[in-house]
Amino acid sequence: MFKKLFIILICCIFLTACNQKTKPIVLNTNETVKVIDPSLPVVALTFDDGPSKYTKEILELLKENDAYATFFVVGNKVEAYSNTINIMIKNGNEVGNHSYSHKWLSRLSNNSIKEEINLTQNILKSTANYTPTLLRPTYGSVNKKLRGSTDLKIVLWDVDTKDWKLKSSEAIAKRALGSIQDGDIVLMHDIYERSLNALKIIIPALKEKGYQFVTVSELKEINLIKQKMKE
Ligand code: ZN
């Protein structure tokens, strides 16, 4: 983490010093080095509620396309899909916390919220030696109590593909492609086959427009660097 921030910082100072607006941004995640062209758009695809039997294929699709995403996993599924989680991390994706048993976090007591979050932190640590820094609240529901119960960064979304509601992959892809803009966080779910099939349309179409697929944490860093470059 510190090494990564250090590299970003160096990159940032270098960019500011040179005042070159199209110098690539270099991100170093795990074993993966990612180079981002700041003159091209970026998007952070996110997947909630998994892992599931479809997640591995999503991971393959991402890899084939040099794309990275963020998976907000449900803790009680982690053990059964430990292999999938390890591939997720090894391939340079980000893993976030989406509670342990998908309870409505903002409606629970402080202690129960903490328990739901900590159980998932612990199981990811013991299964994959990974510690998430992000929380996607269940049902996108946030209140003061939830904010006060966790140190994790709460992440919502800019575009809801409605893959939980729309029945066809074409409709999901159409909605996504009609809404996504540079810098957006996109909500999807890796528990439906239609989401996987929609992704097979969405990723190539966005790539065609020059989009680069990054994780949520990377998106935040890239936005900061881009901001600096404008100053
Ligand atoms: Zn959910």
The Cα 63–Cα 93 span in angstroms is 10
- 213 and 69 Cβ atoms separated by less than 8 Å: yes
Instruction: Please check whether residue 28 lies inside any domain of the structure.
Output: no
Structure tokens of 171? 């409709």
Instruction: Please check whether residue 218 lies inside any domain of the structure.
Output: yes
CA of 98 to the centre of ligand 1 (A): 7
Across the chain, mean pLDDT equals 90
Q: pLDDT tens, 77-100?
A: 999 999 999 999 999 999 999 999
Confidence of residue 24 (pLDDT cuts 50, 70, 90): confident
CATH of the domain at 110: 3.20.20.370
- The one catalytic residue in 98, 184, 189, 190 is 189
Look up tokens 């239609």; give the residue. 194
Instruction: Please check whether residue 148 lies inside any domain of the structure.
Output: yes
Confidence of residue 17 (pLDDT cuts 50, 70, 90): very low
Instruction: Please check whether residue 8 lies inside any domain of the structure.
Output: no
Instruction: Please check whether residue 195 lies inside any domain of the structure.
Output: yes
The Cα 179–Cα 172 span in angstroms is 11
Enclosing domain of residue 175? 44-50+66-82+93-230
- 209 and 41 Cβ atoms separated by less than 8 Å: yes
Confidence of residue 229 (pLDDT cuts 50, 70, 90): confident
Average pLDDT over residues 129-135: 98
**For the chain, first and last CA: distance in Å?**
26
- Tally of structural domains, the chain: 1
42-48 and 212-213 strand pairing: parallel
Q: What is the pLDDT of residue 167?
A: 92
Q: pLDDT tens, 42-67?
A: 999 999 999 999 999 999 999 999 99
Q: pLDDT tens, 172-226?
A: 999 999 999 999 999 999 999 999 999 999 999 999 999 999 999 999 999 998 8
Best CA proximity match to 1, nearest among 28, 20, 37: 28
Judge whether 102 counts as a catalytic residue: no
CA of 52 to the centre of ligand 1 (A): 13
- The one catalytic residue in 37, 48, 102, 151 is 48
The one-letter amino acid code at 194 reads: R
Residue 31 pLDDT exceeds 70: no
Instruction: Please check whether residue 35 lies inside any domain of the structure.
Output: no
Average pLDDT over residues 31-51: 92
Instruction: Please check whether residue 197 lies inside any domain of the structure.
Output: yes
Judge whether 189 counts as a catalytic residue: yes
Instruction: Please check whether residue 88 lies inside any domain of the structure.
Output: no
CA of 186 to the centre of ligand 1 (A): 14
CA of 48 to the centre of ligand 1 (A): 5
